[in-house]
Chains A and B, each alone.
Chain A
Amino acid sequence: MISGMLEIVLISAIKVVVVIIVVLTGCAYATYLERKVVGHMQHRIGPLYAGPHGLLQPIADAVKLIFKEEIVPDNVERVTYALAPIISFVPSLLIFAVIPFGADTVLFGHEVTMVISDMNVAILFILAITSLGVYGIVLAGWSSGSKYSLMGGLRASAQMISYEVGYGLSIVGVILIANTLSLRELVEQQASFGDWFIWRQPLGFLLFLTCAIAETNRLPFDMPEAESELVGGYHTEYSSMRFAMFFIGEYAAILGVAAVATSLFLGGWQGPYLPAVVWFCIKVFLFMFFYIWLRATFPRFRYDQLMAFGWKVLFPLALLNTIVTAALVML
Chain B
Amino acid sequence: MMKEVAKALGYVVFKMPMGFLVTIKHFFRKPVTLDYPRYKEPMAPRYRGKHYLERYEDGSERCVCCGLCAAACPADAIYMEPEEGENGERRAKVYEINLLRCIFCGFCEEACPEEAIFLGQEYEFSDYDRGSFIVDKESILVPHPRKDNPFKRIYRQVRRVYGVTDKV
- How far does the alpha carbon of A89 sit from the alpha carbon of B19 in the complex, in Å? 33
Q: Are B23 and A39 in contact (CB under 8 A)?
A: no
Q: Are A44 and B31 in contact (CB under 8 A)?
A: yes
B8, B12, B31: which contacts A45 (Cβ < 8 A)? B31
**Number of A residues whose C-beta is below 8 Å from B?**
16
Convert A20-36 into 0s and 1s, putting 1 for each residue whose CB lies closer than 8 angstroms to a CB of B. 00000000000000000
The secondary structure that dominates the A interface is helix
Q: Chain A residues with Cβ under 8 A from B27's Cβ?
A: 37, 40-41, 296
- How far does the alpha carbon of A150 sit from the alpha carbon of B24 in the complex, in Å? 36
- Residues 1-36 of B at the A interface (beta carbon under 8 Å): 8, 12, 19-20, 22-24, 26-33, 35
B23, B28, B29, B30: which contacts A296 (Cβ < 8 A)? B23
Is A193 on the interface with B (CB-CB < 8 A)? Answer: no
Q: Chain A residues with Cβ under 8 A from B29's Cβ?
A: 40, 43
Q: Are B20 and A41 in contact (CB under 8 A)?
A: no
- How far does the alpha carbon of A293 sit from the alpha carbon of B23 in the complex, in Å? 7
Q: Chain A residues with Cβ under 8 A from B28's Cβ?
A: 40
Q: Chain B residues with Cβ under 8 A from A48's Cβ?
A: 35
Q: Are A297 and B35 in contact (CB under 8 A)?
A: no
Question: How distant is B38 from chain A, measured CB to nearest CB, in Å?
Answer: 9
Is A3 on the interface with B (CB-CB < 8 A)? Answer: no
Question: How distant is A206 from chain B, measured CB to nearest CB, in Å?
Answer: 8
Q: Are B26 and A44 in contact (CB under 8 A)?
A: no
Q: Are A39 and B31 in contact (CB under 8 A)?
A: yes
Question: How distant is B68 from chain A, measured CB to nearest CB, in Å?
Answer: 46
Q: Which of chain A's residues has its CB closest to B34's CB?
A: A45
Q: Chain A residues with Cβ under 8 A from B23's Cβ?
A: 41, 293, 296-297
Convert B27-53 into 0s and 1s, putting 1 for each residue whose CB lies closer than 8 angstroms to a CB of A. 111111101000000000000000000
- How far does the alpha carbon of A39 sit from the alpha carbon of B23 in the complex, in Å? 11
Q: Chain A residues with Cβ under 8 A from B24's Cβ?
A: 41, 293
- How far does the alpha carbon of A40 sit from the alpha carbon of B24 in the complex, in Å? 9
Q: Chain B residues with Cβ under 8 A from A40's Cβ?
A: 26-29, 31
Is A228 on the interface with B (CB-CB < 8 A)? Answer: no
Q: Are A293 and B20 in contact (CB under 8 A)?
A: yes
- Residues 280-312 of A at the B interface (beta carbon under 8 Å): 293-294, 296-298
Q: Chain B residues with Cβ under 8 A from A41's Cβ?
A: 23-24, 26-27
Q: Chain A residues with Cβ under 8 A from B12's Cβ?
A: 206
Is A42 on the interface with B (CB-CB < 8 A)? Answer: yes
- How far does the alpha carbon of A43 sit from the alpha carbon of B12 in the complex, in Å? 26
Q: Chain B residues with Cβ under 8 A from A313's Cβ?
A: 8
Q: Are A297 and B19 in contact (CB under 8 A)?
A: yes
- How far does the alpha carbon of A206 sit from the alpha carbon of B9 in the complex, in Å? 13
Question: How distant is B7 from chain A, measured CB to nearest CB, in Å?
Answer: 12
Convert A201-226 into 0s and 1s, putting 1 for each residue whose CB lies closer than 8 angstroms to a CB of B. 00000100000000000000000000
- How far does the alpha carbon of A91 sit from the alpha carbon of B24 in the complex, in Å? 33
Find the residue from B19, B23, B24, B32 having the highest chain A CB count within 10 A: B23
Q: Which of chain A's residues has its CB closest to B28's CB?
A: A40
Question: How distant is B24 from chain A, measured CB to nearest CB, in Å?
Answer: 7
Q: Which of chain A's residues has its CB closest to B18's CB?
A: A297
B19, B26, B35: which contacts A43 (Cβ < 8 A)? B26
Question: How distant is A275 from chain B, measured CB to nearest CB, in Å?
Answer: 29
Where the two chains meet, the residues of A that have a C-beta atom closer than 8 Å to any C-beta of B are 37, 39-45, 48, 206, 293-294, 296-298, 313
Given contacts A43-B31, A313-B8, 16 further A-B contacts (CB under 8 A): A37-B27, A40-B26, A40-B27, A40-B31, A42-B26, A43-B26, A43-B29, A43-B32, A44-B31, A44-B32, A45-B31, A293-B24, A294-B20, A296-B23, A297-B23, A298-B19
| 26 residue pairs A–B, Cβ–Cβ below 8 Å | A37-B27, A39-B31, A40-B26, A40-B27, A40-B29, A40-B31, A41-B23, A41-B24, A41-B26, A41-B27, A43-B26, A43-B31, A43-B32, A44-B31, A44-B32, A44-B33, A45-B33, A45-B35, A48-B35, A293-B20, A294-B20, A296-B23, A297-B19, A297-B23, A298-B19, A313-B8
Closest 5 pairs between A and B when the two form their complex, measured CB to CB: A43-B32, A297-B23, A45-B31, A44-B33, A41-B27
